[in-house]
A and B are shown apart, each in its own frame.
Chain A
Amino acid sequence: MSIKEADRVLPVTAGESNATREKRSVVQPSRIKQYEPLVLGTVSVVLALTAWQLVANARIYSILFLPGPWDVAQAFVKLFQTDDIWLDIGTSGMEMGIGYGMAIGVGLVLGMLMGWYTRFQYALDPFVNFFYSTPRIVLIPLFILWWGIEMPPKIAVIFLGALFPIIINTMAGVRNTEAALLRVARSFGASDALIFRRVVLPGSVPFILTGFRLGIGHALTGVVVAELIAAKHGVGQIIAIAGQTFQTPKMLAGVILIACTGMLLTTILQRIENRFQTWRPQIR
């Protein structure tokens, strides 16, 4: 069989529709290939860690300047042996939860309104563009002035950080509804409410989830930076204090905690995104 022949999209026959959703290849698929991403990813990480450890072991620089992965791991374990860690994680988690939750609520509503009603978009665009181009973090001193060094200024920064990617993506999702689909719906006399619920909203889901995912990155940055500047508790506070007191391994342990949280949340959202895309044929 020539490659050309195999590449041709084969006609679908009854009962076969599920099989066609799978990826196709010209050569017989090998079992190893399936694990390729996992294996290669792990190998590269292990190699990088080993290299880092070797350089650190040479102790050209002191542990203050370049701790090895092993030092960081030990610091990480020690971090979790203290009582305060859960208070710190709890505080940061709560700030994150409230700020990000509010961003989702407000962002979805504003994004949909701006996507659906052009005039609403015209009116709000200047504000969205202004705030999106401003690093919201620079507002922290002002928020601290307003609300002190407890949770509210952090929540505000997280909220503002996550809000705009969510607004912008939701709006783009609503706007990107295929004109052909709208025409079909109108032709069958669908009400605006039905068009929104059954056509616009489902079509926007991938965009909206992308907005959520981008928002997480902004929100996490917000937590850490806000706590770096002034806080009583929080993971960012751990990083700040460890950094200022030259406990570099502990500081990096805090960084890893944040990074892992980010990766975990992003992966969860990625999973949800995939769930909503079962109708898309696999392209990869």
Chain B
Amino acid sequence: MYDRSAKLSAKGVVIEYWLQRSRTLFTAVQGVDLTVRPGELLAIVGPSGCGKTTFLNAVDGLIPIAGGNLTLDGREITRPGPDRAMVFQQPGLLPWRTVLGNVIFGVEAQGTMSKKESIARAKHQIELVGLAGFEDAYPLELSGGMQQRVNLARALLTDPEMLLLDEPFAALDAQTREMMQLELLKIWSQTRKTALFITHDIKEAIYLSDRVIVFTRRPGRVKDEVEIKLSRPRDLRVKRDPQFLTYEDRIWESIQEELAVPAERLIAGVPAA
């Protein structure tokens, strides 16, 4: 299973946390094994509450793992670092800073770049995500899609080894979401950065990624793995390709099985009258 050429390697990762009020230990992720290859865009899908976002937070170093092994380029992940950058589900922009000010916030927090250099590069990055002309706008003046572009630009400016995306388009309307998927692929294809994409949207996962991993329901484990062999560049029409639909069916079935589990258990748990 362990692959030396892997960018990210997770072996038997366990993540637990305490629920404060009920004082119970909660296992969110139990024994996740997966690798992300260099330059690959890997998507993780799973039923809601399966621990996929928790797993991503652990990869980012925001939460510690209780067991197993999590390495990036062979180095153990213990805390956030400049080799990873996250694109969040909620944009998390500083409302008192302009677009430009927000895009440089990532490198500013890392302290890895001079202010002058960061501003120069940020302007280029803003252009790349299609926000040219909006450098001086404030986040509250932007639409949801535009805020997510800022969110993306902020992560890209840190030039990480690996990009982590936590359902970045989940809060957008359907059309904006599709446009953003297209844009993301365009930007990604220019850099081919290793990326881990979390989503609950099966189509989105297939459309974007090289490989889709399906998580079981909580506590999350890897249930299934589907190699997506659709040629790149992909435009949105690929979503109607028969091959695409085959992938979608297979992943959908896989998730359905997970959703079906609790119902069966529920029935089995009812004592016979």
Contact = CB atoms under 8 A, between A and B. Distances in A.
Interface of A: 9, 11-12, 14-15, 17, 20-21, 178, 180-181, 183-191, 194, 198-199, 202-203, 276, 278-281
Contacts of A11: 143
A186 B62 CA distance: 7
Contact of B141 (A180, A184, A202, A281): A281
B140 A280 contact: yes
B58 to A, nearest CB: 12
| Most chain B CB inside 10 Å of its own CB: which residue of A17, A185, A281 | A17
B88 A180 contact: yes
Contacts of B136: 17
Interface of B: 60, 62, 79-82, 85-86, 88, 90, 92, 94-97, 105-106, 108-111, 132-134, 136-143, 146, 158
A278 B81 CA distance: 33
Given A17-B134, A187-B62, A188-B85, A12 B142 contact: yes
A281 B140 contact: yes
Contacts of A194: 108-109, 111
B94 A199 contact: yes
The 5 closest A-B pairs by CB, nearest first: A14-B133, A190-B109, A188-B109, A17-B137, A184-B92
B95 A187 contact: no
B95 A279 contact: yes
B132 A279 contact: no
Nearest to A181: B92
B88 A189 contact: no
A178 B137 CA distance: 21
Given A17-B136, A189-B110, 14 more contacts: A9-B143, A12-B141, A12-B146, A20-B141, A180-B88, A184-B88, A187-B86, A188-B105, A189-B80, A190-B109, A194-B108, A198-B109, A279-B95, A279-B140
Contacts of B92: 178, 180-181, 183-184
A186 B57 CA distance: 11
A189 B141 contact: no
Nearest to B81: A189
Contacts of B82: 189
A279 B158 CA distance: 25
A9 B144 CA distance: 12
Contacts of B108: 194, 198
29 contacts: A12-B142, A12-B146, A14-B132, A17-B134, A17-B136, A20-B141, A21-B138, A21-B141, A181-B92, A181-B94, A183-B62, A184-B88, A187-B60, A188-B80, A188-B85, A188-B106, A188-B110, A189-B82, A189-B110, A190-B109, A198-B108, A199-B94, A202-B94, A279-B95, A279-B97, A279-B138, A279-B139, A279-B140, A281-B141
